Chain A
């Protein structure tokens, strides 16, 4: 049985309430694809039956599972590589020039999914900075408890390490762990992972020198985008750098950012006095 309108609307409202993410009409296929494995684990053969059972008898575990399934995204190493190139070519030299060569740096990977972005940043900084492990702290957050736990574990399947991770970096920064690969302990210690809902008031963190908030804003309506950008700005240093996804911008959303072209990508910096 395909997803009924009632089931889809209920899922849309649940996801919006819990995460502020907007599932537009037409995303029924996404709901079907993401929820089918959960429905099967619950012993049901189709998504509508599963949604109906949760709707009539909600349980925190099931509603959480639905929200998590619809708010986590595929990710790969060096995804859309330009913002990473920008980190080592421009952002890092600029920060070290401003703060001194032995400055400590705080970086936030917001919506970190299973951790590839946070560890990509960590690998680049380990290769570029002497004593990076003691000078760099990377905060990785995600709305999904499962993704936060995956990030903490730093374990990745063979298929996952094949996705865009350069082989020289794999051998430098990972060790084999059974059939999987695990991020080396030193790099894992640089990354602290925790749950965080960007659409709600944020915990005390930072202040951050660099924030990666990529492919997140596209899921939110305008007022939520504005609120998220304001909260992120409050956690950044005045001369910090924000990277958004290639299809995202602060233009027309929040005028308190200056867009700066960095190589082939764009970064956003807090405008003074705004």
Chain B
């Protein structure tokens, strides 16, 4: 399975990618929403996108809206991973088309639990 990790913090990209790779994912990284769209437009369409909210150039919410407007990417599951923790922000993200929402700080178990809910744990992670 493939995952795209979009965050302007290199450290956070490494942490999220490390967790996903530990679960059996192949990952790519992008530093903001526009870079993330470039990866998709280049033909690398993942099963899962983990995207931060506050980023330069294109923020996470804009990325979610843009990604959802392309029918070719409809099968992609989008999970926001962000420090935005207000009720209204989560509602906005879900309304824009995000499937799940993880609030920073989080543990590796939190990511794993969410992927289990979404049916996105690779087979080897279920063993």
Are B113 and A76 in contact, with the CB atoms below 8 A?
Answer: yes
Are A166 and B87 in contact, with the CB atoms below 8 A?
Answer: no
Give the interface residue-count category, chain B: 20 to 34
Picked from B86, B98, B102, B106, the residue with its CB within 8 Å of the CB of A176 is: B86
Shortest CB–CB separation between residue A157 and chain B, in angstroms? 10
Q: Mark A129-173, 1 if CB is under 8 A from B, else 0.
A: 000000000000000000000000000001101111011101100
Q: Write out the residue numbers on chain B whose beta carbons fall within 8 Å of the beta carbon of A163.
A: 107, 109-110, 113
Bound-state CA distance A76–B113 (Å) is 9
Are B101 and A167 in contact, with the CB atoms below 8 A?
Answer: yes
Judge whether B35 is part of the interface by a CB distance below 8 angstroms.
no
Q: Find the B residue at minimum CB distance from A74.
A: B109
Q: Find the B residue at minimum CB distance from A174.
A: B87
Give the interface residue-count category, chain A: 10 to 19
Shortest CB–CB separation between residue A155 and chain B, in angstroms? 15
Judge whether A200 is part of the interface by a CB distance below 8 angstroms.
no
Are A162 and B90 in contact, with the CB atoms below 8 A?
Answer: no
Q: Write out the residue numbers on chain B whose beta carbons fall within 8 Å of the beta carbon of A81.
A: 116-117
Judge whether A202 is part of the interface by a CB distance below 8 angstroms.
no
Q: Write out the residue numbers on chain B whose beta carbons fall within 8 Å of the beta carbon of A168.
A: 94
Bound-state CA distance A175–B87 (Å) is 7
Shortest CB–CB separation between residue B88 and chain A, in angstroms? 9
A residues whose Cβ falls under 8 Å from a Cβ of B: 76-78, 81, 158-159, 161-164, 166-168, 170-171, 174-176
